[in-house]
Amino acid sequence: MFAVIRTGGKQYRVAAEDLIRIDKVAGNPGEIVEFGEVLVVGGDNVTLGAPTVSGASVAAEVVEQGRGPKIIAFKKRRRKNSRRKRGHRQEFTLVRVTEILTDGAKPSREAGASRKAKPAQPANPAAEPGTPAQPGAAAGASTG
């Protein structure tokens, strides 16, 4: 099943578990955002909206809020000693589509919690109790 959504003045074709980079939307990483402007819902039978599909929405989990690469706008007027340099970084939101909803269904909160975080690994595996922190730093070892 796929859907075409509109956000930030652009249209995106999405399916479940897709990772897309869209213009900035409000939300912290781990939160669920909902896109209500669904233009097409496809799969076995295709539903076209006029202009949107009523009762359809797409739920997505915010993965990251970030900024794109720096774009330099440099303007020069020759022979006039006139130069202008201006930089810009576009803000974006990286989202993972969790589910495509139809018939006015609400997003399930388990969608964002379904991905289990990996257990934290110790920064230094040799720093366990009873073992020296660095090789060669055993008790009684001399450096001279």
Q: What is the pTM of this model?
A: 0.68
Instruction: Write a three-state SS string for the chain.
Output: CEEEEEECCEEEEEECCCEEEEECCCCCCCCEEEECCEEEEECCCCEECCCCCCCCEEEEEEEEEEEEEEEEEEEEECCCCEEEEEEEEEEEEEEEEEEEECCCCCCCCHHHHCCCCCCCCCCCCCCCCCCCCCCCCCCCCCCC
pLDDT digits 0-9 by tens, 63-98: 999 999 999 999 999 999 999 999 999 999 999 999
Q: What does the pLDDT profile of the chain (144 residues) look like in tens digits?
A: 899 999 999 999 999 999 999 999 999 999 999 999 999 999 888 889 889 999 999 999 999 999 999 999 999 999 999 999 999 999 999 999 999 998 888 888 764 555 554 555 555 655 555 555 565 555 555 565
